[in-house]
């Protein structure tokens, strides 16, 4: 079974630039999540999609972060403009109903300089 | 608001030792609890999921228990091996059917040959 695919693996940008991350979840997983993991911390949920609808985006900094999941499959997360404190690993995950089969991708490591 | 704490932050043991990692949470209405493993530069791998009606789960040398009344979970690793070296994260699913995971900061385990 193919896992959750994410790209790119690494990205270095200057502050105030924009960046986008891509995620392809496991086939058949209706729920997709974006988590932010700052060094030394546990992951924190940014946004959760059920099919192509947003379930929870309460911790998404909406002035600079945006995400979409067109057609209920792939998703993109965008940051514009980036700040130094956005340096983190951005993890995408997907699951079946009720959180079963939670599977994480390898993440995108973002460094903002 | 659910908060998850993991103790200790780091642990170093000799190969072959049995060990226990601890996780505590503030909201006893936690739905499910999950233990993950994270290797450096990698995503999260699910180890054990304890569903709300269960008290423990076992997989190979790993055993996880959940005590909602005391707000605690433990991960027991038997006969530790150098390959077990990684960061172990526990995460609770919020009550109410939310599939959002609230993570602790993790315990970094080093098993010395």
Contact call for B42 and A106, based on CB within 8 A: yes
Q: Considering CB atoms only, which of A42, A95, A99 is closest to B89? A: A42
pLDDT at residue number B97: 58
Q: How many Å apart are CA A57 and CA A48, to the nearest integer?
A: 6
DSSP-based three-state secondary structure for A15:
coil
B106 to chain A, closest Cα gap in Å? 6
Q: Does A39 touch chain B (CB under 8 A)?
A: no
Of residues B40 and B110, more confidence is placed in B110
Q: Choose from A42, A58, A94 for mutation: most chain B CBs within 10 A.
A: A42
Residue B39 has pLDDT above 90, yes or no: yes
Residue B84 phi/psi, 5-degree rounding, is -80, -10
Q: What is the pLDDT along chain A (113 residues), one digit of tens a residue?
A: 679 999 999 999 999 999 999 999 999 899 999 999 999 999 999 999 998 899 999 999 999 999 999 888 999 999 999 999 999 999 999 998 777 788 999 999 999 99
Q: Considering CB atoms only, which of A40, A42, A48 is closest to B99? A: A48
Could you read off the pLDDT of B57-67 as tens digits, one per residue?
999 999 999 99
Cβ-Cβ contacts under 8 Å, A45 against chain B = 100-102
Cβ-Cβ contacts under 8 Å, B34 against chain A = 102
CB B80 within 8 A of CB B25: no
Which residues contact residue A105 at a Cβ distance below 8 angstroms, ignoring those fewer than 6 apart?
A: A3, A4, A5, A6, A23, A91, A92, A93, B43
Could you read off the pLDDT of B67-106 as tens digits, one per residue?
988 999 999 999 999 999 999 999 997 765 567 899 999 9
A98 to chain B, closest Cα gap in Å? 6
């Amino acid at each position: 079974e193919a896992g959750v695919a994410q790209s790119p693996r690494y990205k270095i940008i200057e502050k105030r630039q924009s960046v986008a991350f891509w995620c392809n979840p496991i086939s058949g997983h209706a729920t997709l999540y974006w988590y932010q993991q700052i060094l030394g911390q546990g992951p924190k949920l940014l946004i959760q999609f059920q099919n192509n609808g947003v379930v929870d985006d309460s911790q998404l900094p909406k002035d600079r972060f945006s995400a979409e999941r067109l057609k209920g499959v792939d998703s993109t997360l965008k940051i514009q403009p980036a700040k130094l404190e956005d340096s983190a690993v951005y993890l995408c995950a997907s699951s079946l109903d009720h959180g079963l089969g939670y599977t994480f991708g390898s993440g995108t490591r973002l460094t903002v300089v | 608001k659910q908060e998850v704490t993991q103790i200790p932050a780091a642990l170093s043991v000799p190969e072959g030792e049995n060990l226990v990692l601890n996780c505590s949470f503030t909201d006893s209405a936690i739905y499910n609890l999950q233990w993950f493993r994270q290797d450096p530069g990698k995503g999260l791998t699910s180890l054990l999921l304890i569903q709300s009606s269960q008290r423990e789960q076992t997989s190979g040398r790993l055993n996880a228990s959940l005590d909602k009344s005391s707000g605690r979970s433990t991960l027991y690793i038997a006969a530790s091996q150098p390959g077990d070296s990684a960061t172990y994260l526990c995460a609770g699913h919020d009550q109410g059917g939310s599939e959002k995971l609230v993570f602790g900061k993790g315990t970094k385990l080093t098993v010395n040959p």
